[in-house]
């Protein structure tokens, strides 16, 4: 059987994709996009601005331009494309932290051991570094800062859709469990003046949230703690982009903690990226592999989330698409 040239070319495209993320990462780390806001510049000019080797920077920029990330004109000057604009540090929702994160060794080298994850179902991160990603971040605040900023950028998608796609006015108090610095909670309260909120997070995250939620002072209570140990009381519990970080047993443990804290009549809202059926491309299908290799968690399809919630003591009552990536799963306590 003869392999066609298009098929070989497609496989080569997939294999050489490993070269792309490091190229984007180093240009993001150097802040190249920030130095092009006034217009195109040569690699030599950029090298002087960022302290790089001119010839080496030219080679990397040329590669990035071939991917459509930057432009290159006949005079050898490089400029911004719409995608490169997203690498600027001064634009809302900048993906610069995410690009930098993907170039960091903790998020790169575990893939050399992906076979370990495939054979055992365990994260290759722990085989590579001898600890979990979460413990590593706790011990390396410089990596934690990049990870936090990257996660905020990744999960900014869907915030307005989630805030607008559900009748949050039904609740007196919404408890945002593991909600980062509270952007989704702020969006919900901004739309519904009669609703109060509780942001429940780790102590260091709560401190960072104070400034970001200052304009909602009096309507938001900031509570620090461990959500595996207990959560505050409220009328609705919101969990966004959190369950996928954990294996089934840990995710179920978190759900049971929430179920135990819920007063009569309270509800649960889970916002996650649900893996769609079929073999079409989707962000969640590759993010699921990232969860397998790095975090030990999983992106799940609709039936898997239904089963997971049932194991945690909940019955799914509705699923609402919120933008391209997120689905809001509404559930009520069982039994």
Q: Where are the domains of the chain?
A: 5-99, 105-153, 156-333
**Helix or strand or coil: residue 192?**
coil
Identify whether 53 is a catalytic site residue.
Answer: no
Print pLDDT tens along the chain (335 aa).
555 678 889 999 999 999 999 999 999 999 999 999 999 999 999 999 999 999 999 999 999 999 999 999 999 999 999 999 999 999 988 999 999 999 999 999 999 999 999 999 999 999 999 999 999 999 999 999 999 889 888 877 789 999 999 999 999 999 999 999 999 999 999 999 999 999 999 998 899 899 888 888 789 999 999 999 999 999 999 999 999 999 999 999 999 999 999 999 999 999 999 999 999 999 999 999 999 999 999 999 999 999 999 999 999 999 999 988 899 999 999 97
Residues paired with 78 in a beta bridge? 41, 72
Q: Which of 136, 166, 244, 282 is catalytic?
A: 244
The answer for 75, left when phi > 0, alpha when psi is -120 to 50, beta otherwise, is: alpha
Distance in angstroms (rounded) separating the CA atoms of residues 216 and 253: 31
Q: Does domain 5-99 have CATH number 1.20.120.450?
A: no
For the chain, the residue count is 335
Whole-number pLDDT of residue 55: 98
pLDDT at position 323: 86
pLDDT (0 to 100) of residue 4: 63
DSSP structural state of residue 295: I
For the domain 156-333, what is the CATH superfamily, name and number? Vaccinia Virus protein VP39 (3.40.50.150)
Q: Is 80 helix (H, G, I), strand (E, B) or coil?
A: strand
Q: CA dihedral in degrees (284, 287, 292, 298; nearest 10)?
A: -40
The predicted structure's pLDDT at residue 2? 57
- 128 neighbors 113 (Cβ within 8 angstroms): yes
Q: Where are the beta strands (DSSP E) in 57-152?
A: 70-72, 77-80
Ordered DSSP codes for 152-190: HHHTTTTHHHHHHSS-GGG-SEEEEET-TT-HHHHHHHH
């Amino acid at each position: 059987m003869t392999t066609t040239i298009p098929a070989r070319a497609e496989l080569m495209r997939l294999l050489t994709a490993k070269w792309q993320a490091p190229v984007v990462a180093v240009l993001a780390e150097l802040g190249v996009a920030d130095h092009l806001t006034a217009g195109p510049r040569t690699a030599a000019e950029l090298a002087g601005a960022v302290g790089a080797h001119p010839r080496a920077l030219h080679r990397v920029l040329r590669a990035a331009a071939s991917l459509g990330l930057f432009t290159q004109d006949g005079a050898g000057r490089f400029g911004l494309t719409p995608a490169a604009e997203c690498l600027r540090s001064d634009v809302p929702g900048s993906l610069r932290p995410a690009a930098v994160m993907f170039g960091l060794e903790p998020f790169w080298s575990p893939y050399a051991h992906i076979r370990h994850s495939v054979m055992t179902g365990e994260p290759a991160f722990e085989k590579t570094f001898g600890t979990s990603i979460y413990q590593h971040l706790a011990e390396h605040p410089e990596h934690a800062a990049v990870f936090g900023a990257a996660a905020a950028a990744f999960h900014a998608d869907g915030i307005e859709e989630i805030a607008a796609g559900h009748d949050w006015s039904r609740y007196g108090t919404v408890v945002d469990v593991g909600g980062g610095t509270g952007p989704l909670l702020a969006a919900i309260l901004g739309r519904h003046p009669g609703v109060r909120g509780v942001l429940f997070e780790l102590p260091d995250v709560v401190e960072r949230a104070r400034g970001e939620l200052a304009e909602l002072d009096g309507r938001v209570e900031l509570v620090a703690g461990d959500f595996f140990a207990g959560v505050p009381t409220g009328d609705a519990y919101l969990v966004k982009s959190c369950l996928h970080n954990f294996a089934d047993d840990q995710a179920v443990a978190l759900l049971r903690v929430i179920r135990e804290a819920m007063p009569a009549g309270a509800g649960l809202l889970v916002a996650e990226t649900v893996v769609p059926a079929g073999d079409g491309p989707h962000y969640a299908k590759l993010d699921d592999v990232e969860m397998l290799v790095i975090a030990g968690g999983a992106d799940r399809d609709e039936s898997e989330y239904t089963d997971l919630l049932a194991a945690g003591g909940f019955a799914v009552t509705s699923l609402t698409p919120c933008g391209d990536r997120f689905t809001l799963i509404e559930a009520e306590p069982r039994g």
